[in-house]
Amino acid sequence: MPIHDLLPILLGWMVAIVSPGPATLAITGTAMEGGRARGLALAWGVVTGSAVWGTLAGLGLGAAMMSHAWTFEVLRYAGAGYLGWLAWKSARAALRPGAARPRHAGDESLRRAWARGALIHLTNPKAVLFWGAVYALAVPADAPASVLWEVGLGCLATSMLTLSAMALAFSAPPVARLYLRARRGFDAAFALLFGLAALKILTARLSAS
C-alpha cells in the first residue's frame, strides 16, 4: 500500500487509541503510581490484546463471532465485570486515608501489569468490531493478503509507539509528584471513570456495521 494511503489510516488509528477509555485510564494511573516500567508493561499488554483481536478480525473470525451473539454477550459481561472491579479497587483506594506510597513501592509485578493490560483489551468486545471496520474501510476486497498484514502491523506499531509514549509521559517525575499530592482525588476520578466505562459496555448496542 502506498505510504500516502497508509498514513491517514495510521493517524486516524492514533487518534482513536488515545481517546479516553479503559486502556488509557489504566496506563495513566499505573504509570503515575507504579512508575515507568509498570506503565510500559501495561501498555504492551494492551497492544498484545489488540494484536489478538486484529488477527481474529483479519482471519474473518470477527464476522463469525457476530453470527454467534452469545460470544459477545459473554465478553460484554466479563468486560463490564472486570471494569467494575477496577472501579471498586480505585474507590477503595480513594477512601483510604494518607498519602500515596513512594514510587515503585507497589507489589504488582511487571508480568501482572502486562496481563492486566491484555485483559482490559481482551474483554472489550467492541475491539474486534473496530478492527473489522478498519480492515473493511482501508483494504479493498480484491487486495492481496500482504496489504492486510501491512495495515494490521502498521496499526499495531502505531499503538506500541503511542501507548508507550503515554506511559513515559505520565511516569515523568513532575506528574508523579502531582499524583502523590492528590492521590485520593485521582483514585476517585479513576473509580468514577472505570464505573462509567463498565456501564457503557453493559448498555452499548454491539453491531458489526
The ranges of the chain with pLDDT < 50 are 102-105, 208-209
Angle in degrees, CA 84, 90, 94, rounded to 5: 140
- With contact defined as beta carbons under 8 Å apart, do 54 and 131 qualify? yes
pLDDT in tens, 31-83: 988 889 999 999 999 999 999 988 888 777 655 555 666 666 777 777 778 77
Quote the pLDDT of residue 207.
53
Domain residue spans in the chain? 3-8+21-203
Cα dist. 208→27, 129, 130, 157 in Å?
28, 6, 9, 25
Identify which of 72, 43, 56, 7 has the alpha carbon closest to the alpha carbon of residue 206.
72
Distance of CA 181 to the CA centre of its chain: 26
Report how far residue 128's alpha carbon sits from residue 53's, in angstroms, rounded to the nearest whole number.
5
In one letter, which amino acid is 139? V
